[in-house]
């Protein structure tokens, strides 16, 4: 077992960084590693079943973490895409794939099982693949999750209906016992989770033993999965339900922190086991059938998914991501096919070929998605050139260059005071957003003299420069000082270096973008630590005045890193002395109030 674990870890360390280095993500690296070390290639690991059983814990933990992020109210809000889009995908895809399976020789009962099983997609592959690229919060990620959630829910009746697909299945009695067991299992998780989970974690947390808390979290995931497996339901559904039940609890963040390390490693082992299970010998024996089936499966599912996304009026880029996230087969199809073979509804050789097709589709799906993100999506997201607005001559005393977060606040205060201004913004999407909220802004480049002139720079008194990009900010400041020297500038600075550059251009006033909010937070921190409000305000004010002086002093040698470092160290020591002297004065002038609490 130690040697097997060493091979798994070595394969992960070797192939995953290579895959990520070439932009294909970690999932493809795990799958390729599994194929190479598996029994059908190098044969370094042969007990695939044992590894698969252990690594399935990674899938359970993935579903548990997803459940932690989905509060019941949010699931209720998702009911339309889950039921509508999810059911449409399974029904349309399953029907078409069933017809194709029957066309190549499968009986209608077997074709129906194959169609539905192949219509399902892999949660374990699709969600990590999108999470790596921060896509789960986008429309494509939300739509993908809705479909996957419906498929997990649909898996319950699919297994129950497998016996009915045999020739005498229709005459069999409804499996009421199985249905009752499933309902009882769900009730145990829901009721038990509501009544027992929080008290249990409260008890364990009170013991202040982190390792026991981690063990409790793992026991919760495995226990919920064991209950659902016992009553004939997918284990992933139990883990997901446990996560949802704890999504509103005060322990959700600590649970995530405890479970995530195990989830990442075990999920990687799961992908490796999928790769090891790919019978490449069968693929070489029947290449036309196997590879043709993989291409047909991925193509049919991707086209249907793309069409469904467009039908929901999604953008082409969102539809493409949605289509390429879910074209692979599902690990649950393995369970469905095994159940169908056991009752005689699906021939064994046909199930073996379908299983290989699913495994290979899992292998190429991350590759297709990565290639799309690398070569197709960037072209689709390329900003469209939009002509700048024709700005009529303006006579407002203030011009605001950049109507982002800071610019909008300045604009609102000027509007409240009845002071006219002209706002310029060179981001077309930001212009559309601001206009939807009723603000007037012109789409134009403030670094161009003709745009500033059209905005009234010849008559204006002040330019408020709030552009976030440093290069754009300096270009605008340079254009103004060269072409409109009478126009005073109040500017936003991203950092000290940016502030120094603006000061070189004789900018009237420079405001570091997070500086004052940071001072306000520091004052609140001191108050929370027990400092009297007046003392906290005075000490923060002392720091502010000293730092403003230091900013001006360091401007002279800002390009000398050594001198900057030494200056910063000297300033820290001097500031500490000033604060200590201030405390001493405060204590001397307030003897009746007792000693002032020392800094912590």
The DSSP secondary structure of 97-119, one letter per residue, reads HHHHHHHTT--HHHHHHHHHHHH
Residues of the chain with CATH 3.40.50.720: 394-513
The pLDDT of residue 249 is: 77
Integer Rg of the chain from CA: 32
Rounded distance between C-alpha atoms, residue 315 and residue 384, angstroms: 15
Q: Rounded to whole angstroms, what are the CA distances from 287 to 28, 365, 387?
A: 22, 19, 54
Residues of the chain with CATH 1.20.1530.20: 2-168+175-376
3-state helix, strand, coil in the chain (%, to 5): 70, 5, 25
Number of other residues whose CB lies within 10 A of the CB of residue 430: 17
* 3 state SS of 490: strand
* Overall fold of domain 2-168+175-376: Na+/H+ antiporter like fold (1.20.1530)
The pLDDT of residue 123 is: 86
Q: Which H or E run contains 331?
A: helix 331-342
Closest alpha carbon to 349 in 31, 34, 118, 105:
105
Rounded distance between C-alpha atoms, residue 197 and residue 210, angstroms: 17
Q: Which H or E run contains 491?
A: strand 488-493
Which residues of the chain are modeled with pLDDT < 70? 156, 159-160, 163-176, 178, 205-208, 381-389, 392-394, 438, 586, 588-600
Rounded distance between C-alpha atoms, residue 63 and residue 235, angstroms: 10
Q: Directed axis angle between helix 496-504 and helix 470-483, to 10°?
A: 10
Angle (CA) 48-49-54 rounded to 5° is: 100
* Overall fold of domain 394-513: Rossmann fold (3.40.50)
Sheet holding 488-493, edge to edge: 442-443, 421-425, 398-401, 462-465, 488-493, 509-512
The pLDDT of residue 171 is: 42
Q: Rounded to whole angstroms, what are the CA distances from 142 to 58, 242, 368, 572?
A: 22, 21, 20, 49
The pLDDT of residue 596 is: 47
The pLDDT of residue 73 is: 72
The pLDDT of residue 170 is: 45
Q: Rounded to whole angstroms, what are the CA distances from 598 to 97, 530, 585, 590, 595?
A: 74, 9, 14, 15, 8
The pLDDT of residue 598 is: 46
Rounded distance between C-alpha atoms, residue 108 and residue 164, angstroms: 12
């Amino acid at each position: 077992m130690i040697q097997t674990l060493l091979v798994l870890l070595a394969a992960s360390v070797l192939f995953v960084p290579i895959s990520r280095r070439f932009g294909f993500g970690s999932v493809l690296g795990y799958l390729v590693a599994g194929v190479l070390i598996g029994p059908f290639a190098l044969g370094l690991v042969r007990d695939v079943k044992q590894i698969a059983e252990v690594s399935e814990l990674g899938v359970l933990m993935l579903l548990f973490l997803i459940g932690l992020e989905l509060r019941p109210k949010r699931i209720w809000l998702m009911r339309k895409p889950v039921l509508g889009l999810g059911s449409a995908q399974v029904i349309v895809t399953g029907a078409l794939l069933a017809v194709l399976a029957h066309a190549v020789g499968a009986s209608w009962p077997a074709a129906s099982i194959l169609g539905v099983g192949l219509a399902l997609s892999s949660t374990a592959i699709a969600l990590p693949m999108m999470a790596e690229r921060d896509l789960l919060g986008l429309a494509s990620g939300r739509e993908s999750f809705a479909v996957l959630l419906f498929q997990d829910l649909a898996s319950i009746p699919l297994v129950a209906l497998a016996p009915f697909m045999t020739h005498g299945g229709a005459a069999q009695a409804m499996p009421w016992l199985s249905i009752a067991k499933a309902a009882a299992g769900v009730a145990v998780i829901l009721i038990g989770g509501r009544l027992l989970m929080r008290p249990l974690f409260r008890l364990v947390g009170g013991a202040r033993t982190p390792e026991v808390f981690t063990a409790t979290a793992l026991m919760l995931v495995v226990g919920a999965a064991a209950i659902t497996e016992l009553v004939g339901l997918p284990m992933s559904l139990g883990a997901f339900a446990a996560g949802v039940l704890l999504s509103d609890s005060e322990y959700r963040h600590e649970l995530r922190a405890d479970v995530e390390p195990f989830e990442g490693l075990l999920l990687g082992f799961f992908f490796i086991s999928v790769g090891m299970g790919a019978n490449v010998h069968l693929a070489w024996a029947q290449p036309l059938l196997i590879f043709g089936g993989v291409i047909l499966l991925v193509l049919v599912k991707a086209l249907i998914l793309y069409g469904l996304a467009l039908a929901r009026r999604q953008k082409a880029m969102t539809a493409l991501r949605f289509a390429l996230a879910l074209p692979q087969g599902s690990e649950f199809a393995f369970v469905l096919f095994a159940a169908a073979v056991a009752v005689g509804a699906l021939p064994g050789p046909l199930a073996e070929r379908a299983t290989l097709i699913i495994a290979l589709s899992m292998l190429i799906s991350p590759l297709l998605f990565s290639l799309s993100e690398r070569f197709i999506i960037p072209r689709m997201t390329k900003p469209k050139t939009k002509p700048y607005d024709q700005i009529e001559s303006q006579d407002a005393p203030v011009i605001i260059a950049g109507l982002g977060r800071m610019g909008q606040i300045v604009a609102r205060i000027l509007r409240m005071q009845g002071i006219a201004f002209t706002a310029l913004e060179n981001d077309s999407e930001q212009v559309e957003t601001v206009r939807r909220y009723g603000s007037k802004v012109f789409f134009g480049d403030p670094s161009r003299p003709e745009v500033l002139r059209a905005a009234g720079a010849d008559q204006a008194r002040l330019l408020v420069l709030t552009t976030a990009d440093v290069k754009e900010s300096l270009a605008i400041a340079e254009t103004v000082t060269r072409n409109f020297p009478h126009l005073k500038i109040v500017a936003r600075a991203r950092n000290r270096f940016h502030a120094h550059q603006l000061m070189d251009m004789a900018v009237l006033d420079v405001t570091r973008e997070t500086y004052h909010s940071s001072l306000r937070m520091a004052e609140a921190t001191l108050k929370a630590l027990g400092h009297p409000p007046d003392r906290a305000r005075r000490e923060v004010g002392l720091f502010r005045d000293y730092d403003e002086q230091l900013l001006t002093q360091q401007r002279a040698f800002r390009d000398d890193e050594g001198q900057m470092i030494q200056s910063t160290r000297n300033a820290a020591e001097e500031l500490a002395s000033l604060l200590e002297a201030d405390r001493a004065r405060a204590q001397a002038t307030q003897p009746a109030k007792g000693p002032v609490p020392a800094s912590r």
